[in-house]
Amino acid sequence: MKTNYESNFHSDLSTTLANKNSGAKLSLDVCITPFSYPIYHRDDAIVVVIDVLRATSAICTAFHNGAEKIIPVATIEEAAEYKSKGYLVGAERNGIALEGFDFGNSPFSYTTEKVNGKTIVISTTNGTQAIAAASHAYKVVIGAFTNISALCNWLKLQNRNILILCSGWKNRINLEDTICAGAISKILLEGNNNFKSGDGALSAVFLYQSAQKNPFKYLRNSSHTERLSAMGLKNDIKYCFTLDKTDVIPVLDGKYLVKQF
Amino acid sequence: MKTNYESNFHSDLSTTLANKNSGAKLSLDVCITPFSYPIYHRDDAIVVVIDVLRATSAICTAFHNGAEKIIPVATIEEAAEYKSKGYLVGAERNGIALEGFDFGNSPFSYTTEKVNGKTIVISTTNGTQAIAAASHAYKVVIGAFTNISALCNWLKLQNRNILILCSGWKNRINLEDTICAGAISKILLEGNNNFKSGDGALSAVFLYQSAQKNPFKYLRNSSHTERLSAMGLKNDIKYCFTLDKTDVIPVLDGKYLVKQF
| Residues of A whose CB is below 8 A from B198 | 172, 223
B42 vs A: CB within 8 A: no
Its ipTM equals 0.87
State the 10-residue block means of pLDDT for chain A, 261 residues long.
42 32 77 97 97 96 98 96 97 94 95 97 95 96 98 95 97 95 95 85 92 70 77 88 96 96 63
Q: Are B198 and B43 in contact (CB under 8 A)?
A: no
Task: Classify B12 as helix, strand or coil.
Answer: helix
Instruction: State residue B260's pLDDT score.
Output: 86
Q: Is a pLDDT exceeding 80 seen at residue B12?
A: no
Q: Is a pLDDT exceeding 80 seen at residue B220?
A: no
How does residue B14 score in pLDDT terms, banded at 50, 70 and 90? very low
Instruction: State residue B26's pLDDT score.
Output: 94
Chain A residue closest to B13 (CA)? A216
Instruction: State residue B121's pLDDT score.
Output: 98
This prediction has a pTM of 0.89
Q: Is a pLDDT exceeding 90 seen at residue B102?
A: yes
**Radius of gyration from C-alpha coordinates of chain A:** 19
Overall fold of domain A25-259: putative 2-phosphosulfolactate phosphatase (3.90.1560)
Task: Classify A228 as helix, strand or coil.
Answer: helix
What is the CA angle A126-A120-A180, rounded to 5?
A: 35
Describe the strand order of the beta sheet including A256-259 as a list of residue ranges: A96-97, A88-93, A119-123, A69-72, A256-259, A250-253, A139-143, A46-50, A162-166, A26-31, A195-197
Instruction: State residue A24's pLDDT score.
Output: 58
Q: Where are the beta strands (DSSP E) in B115-244?
A: 119-123, 139-143, 162-166, 195-197
The C-alpha atoms of residue B176 and residue B226 are separated, in whole angstroms, by 12
Most B CBs within 10 Å: which of A203, A218, A222, A228, as the mutation test of the B interface? Answer: A203
Instruction: State residue B222's pLDDT score.
Output: 77
Give φ, ψ of B214 to 5 degrees: -155, 85
Tell me whether strands A195-197 and A26-31 are parallel, antiparallel or unpaired: parallel
| Residues of A whose CB is below 8 A from B213 | 8
B206 vs A: CB within 8 A: yes
Q: What is the DSSP string of B43-83?
A: TT-EEEEE-TTTHHHHHHHHHHTT--EEEE-SSHHHHHHHH
Return the domain boundaries, chain B: 25-259
| Residues of A whose CB is below 8 A from B174 | 199
B52-94, pLDDT tens digit by residue?
Answer: 999 999 999 999 999 999 999 999 999 999 999 999 999 999 9
CB-CB under 8 Å, A209 with B13 = no
Q: Which residues pair with A119 in a beta bridge?
A: A69
CB-CB under 8 Å, A202 with B13 = no
Instruction: State residue B6's pLDDT score.
Output: 45
B217 vs A: CB within 8 A: yes
The CA distances from residue B142 to A107, A227, B60, B67, B224, in Å, are 45, 33, 8, 15, 20
Q: Which of A259, A225, A250, A236 is nearest to A107 (CA)?
A: A236
Task: Classify B26 as helix, strand or coil.
Answer: strand
A129 vs B: CB within 8 A: no
CB-CB under 8 Å, B21 with A172 = no
